[in-house]
Amino acid sequence: MSSEQHVENLMKSTMENLKDMIDVNTVIGKAIETKDGTCIIPVSKLSFGFASGGSEYLYENTTSTVFPFGGGSGAGVSVKPVAFLVVKEDGVRMIPADQNTTCDRIVDTVPQVLDIVKGFVKDLCKKNNETSDKNNTSNPVNNFENNTTNNDNAI
């Protein structure tokens, strides 16, 4: 068997194994149906890498015309989610999976904004309570009532 046939067999074997690993449901995933009837379909990006090679080795001390063959092949696959198709009764929407959209950034910052607002309201309530406590002790109406009570006792 020539070295070309060996390399061809390596490539054929590798490609057949890749076909077994990847099917059409990898790019457009299987639909997921929710309780409310919404259908979500994942969409992915596939990247492939493939290499194959080989060589025959010559023995100097042999008279045989068949040379030993050495070869190898390999492949790699990368699957990255790109988007989700959301199918509802009122239409179809595509939601991107990357985090670079404006809506995603807004949603990511909402907890921080809520913490800031919560702290502001808490500080405002605390200041308001302190002010009302000071007003109660220095309120002229309260002082008048205290003074009249003291004067009544004096009579």
Neighbours of 116 (CB within 10 A): 10
Rounded to two decimals, the pTM is 0.44
Strand order in the sheet with 69-88: 32-33, 39-56, 69-88, 91-96
Contact predicate 52/14, CB 8 Å: yes
3 pLDDT higher than 60: no
70 pLDDT higher than 80: no
pLDDT of residue 39: 92
83 CB-near residues (< 8 Å, 6+ apart): 42, 43, 94, 95, 96, 97
pLDDT of residue 33: 92
Structure tokens that stand for 68 in this block = 């030993």
pLDDT digits (tens, 9 = 90+) for 11-53: 788 777 777 766 667 788 888 998 988 999 999 888 878 777 7
d(CA 73, CA 87): 42
pLDDT digits (tens, 9 = 90+) for 90-140: 888 888 887 666 776 777 777 888 888 888 888 888 888 877 776 665 555
15 CB-near residues (< 8 Å, 6+ apart): 50
For the chain, what's the residue count?
155
